[in-house]
Amino acid sequence: MRHVFGLLFVYAVFALLAWRQVPSWPYIYDEADYMWASSLGWAANYTDTPTLPFREFLRLGLHGGTQKNEQQSLSAVVRNSNDIVFYRHWHGPVYFYWLDATQPLHSSEQLMRGLQLVFPAIGGLLIYLGCVSLLPAETAVAGAVLASAMYLWSDTVLRSLEIAPHQLFALWCLAALFFLAHVMITGKRRFWYGAVICCALAFCTMEVAFVPILTLLVCGHFRRRELQADWRFHLKWVVLLLGTILLVWPGGLLKLSAAKAYLFMAYLAVFRRHAWGSDLTITQSWLLRFAHDPVAWALVLAAVVVYLRVDKPLRASLVPFAVFSVLMIAAVFRVNADAPRYSLPFMPALDVFAAAVVAGLLGARKRAAVTVGVLCCGLFLTRALWLHTRPLGEATEARAILAWVAQNRLADKTLLIPQDYVPTVHYYFPRTTLTGYRDVASFADERLHGHFAAIYPAQP
């Protein structure tokens, strides 16, 4: 019964905070490309058809792409090829299977974004049950409530309800980490194989899945004796990993789409200064993340300081969360973005780590309940104040450009528009022929050499 009340409390507050946090505006940029990719169907996403051959992908990448005009021309080339991997922004297809399954609902942008709540709802339950299985009985409920509250009530979750695979990726990573936590405690192979499957699904979802795979290897090294890690064992789990990937995303291996994804991410990190749509510096980005979730980050820092004081079994079970968090933060450290979804790869693991350490130190059930109650009040008040003082904006320009196309009967015309709105107009008016411009210089160049039925806006 205590677990029922604990879950009802966490999810009731989650529902209260999530209310009015679901955007209703048109699909913009990434979202529009994702929706277009899903509209091509399950088979296209499963087989990565059509997509540029790997050799052509390398040729285009090696012969241009470091200057703005080159980036623009590359984008036009790939869009004109209708490359489905490009429209997925190099992510794996698992999330797009979900979008394809919900295709009858695509006309309602708010409903589709509201369905994103399914992933954190499952993730919160996974965290709760996972913490109960790891923590001592006297503090299990308190720790599980704190961990799931830190996750579900976070800015990272509540302001990441756009169409994107990050919430699903976080779910696979959490599942893998809880499996690995039980590997660290018991050394049993069945938990290891569960973690392997989750890592494979993460690999088929987003292109930072090398982090949970590296975490898998580190934990396997720590428990190699208990796992009896001979060559047969290694052969089995490698075959399981590759077999799951091949089953779920054959194009990732057979068409080298996964290699494309990692090469493109490396290109963004090295050559694109504002690749994630923000002019913030790396320092400003991290300060903003701390400001968004001050109580959670304070708990994380406190947990790091006192980690060695918790009981040895609990300390061992939290090793996967610690290793994963360090590796993931290092992997995405240079992502200078203000969108909360870019914290989803690492923040849920930190939430579990911090809550488990706090609960592990509290000991007595009554003291744990009181302390967690106070911390939950702090989490709720800071989040409610943040959401109240920073309401969702409105994509007025996206609505305006779509209205301009519709009202002027331009749905089948050749148009010159800002590059940021090319995906949106393409999704809603697929018969248009679009050329995008990024600045005054590219506008002048396109205007000089192109022939357009209309230009938006009339005075750029």
Mean pLDDT of the chain: 90
Question: CA separation (Å) from 104 to 39, 44, 322, 425?
Answer: 10, 18, 41, 20
Q: In this structure, are residues 115 and 319 in contact, taking their beta carbons and an 8 Å threshold?
A: no
pLDDT of residue 281: 86
Kindly report, residue by residue over 28-85, the tens digit of the pLDDT.
Answer: 989 999 999 999 999 999 999 999 888 888 887 776 555 555 555 556 666 777 889 9
Question: CA separation (Å) from 329 to 151, 208, 235, 356, 368?
Answer: 17, 11, 30, 20, 30
* Residues 6 or more apart whose Cβ sits within 8 Å of residue 198: 172, 173, 175, 176, 179, 212
Can you tell me the mean pLDDT for 119-124? 96
pLDDT of residue 393: 83
pLDDT > 90: percent of the chain: 68
Q: Quote the CA–CA distance of 175 and 386 in Å, as a whole number.
A: 29
* Residues 6 or more apart whose Cβ sits within 8 Å of residue 125: 7, 148
Conformational region of residue 444, where left means phi above 0, alpha means psi within -120 to 50, and beta covers everything else: alpha
- At which residue do the structure tokens 């087989």 appear? 47
Q: Three-state SS for 435? A: strand
DSSP run (H or E) holding 353? helix 347-362
pLDDT of residue 416: 93
Greatest mean pLDDT range, 73-87, 255-269, 392-406:
392-406
> Residue 174 is encoded by which pair of tokens?
């959490």
Kindly report, residue by residue over 374-383, the tens digit of the pLDDT.
Answer: 999 999 999 9
Kindly report, residue by residue over 90-110, the tens digit of the pLDDT.
Answer: 999 999 999 999 999 999 999
pLDDT of residue 447: 85
Q: In this structure, are residues 288 and 316 in contact, taking their beta carbons and an 8 Å threshold?
A: no
Q: Which strand ranges, in their side-by-side order, compose the sheet holding 414-418?
A: 433-437, 414-418, 454-455
Confidence class for position 329, pLDDT limits 50, 70, 90: very high
pTM of the shown model: 0.93
| pLDDT above 60 (res 278) | yes
Q: Quote the CA–CA distance of 218 and 229 in Å, as a whole number.
A: 13
Backbone angles phi, psi at 187, to 5 degrees: 70, 15
| pLDDT above 90 (res 441) | no
Asked whether the CA dihedral 71, 75, 81, 85 is positive or negative, the reply is: positive
Kindly report, residue by residue over 307-325, the tens digit of the pLDDT.
Answer: 999 889 999 999 999 999 9
Q: Quote the CA–CA distance of 378 and 274 in Å, as a whole number.
A: 34
Q: Three-state SS for 59? A: helix
Kindly report, residue by residue over 135-152, the tens digit of the pLDDT.
Answer: 988 888 999 999 999 999
pLDDT > 70: percent of the chain: 93
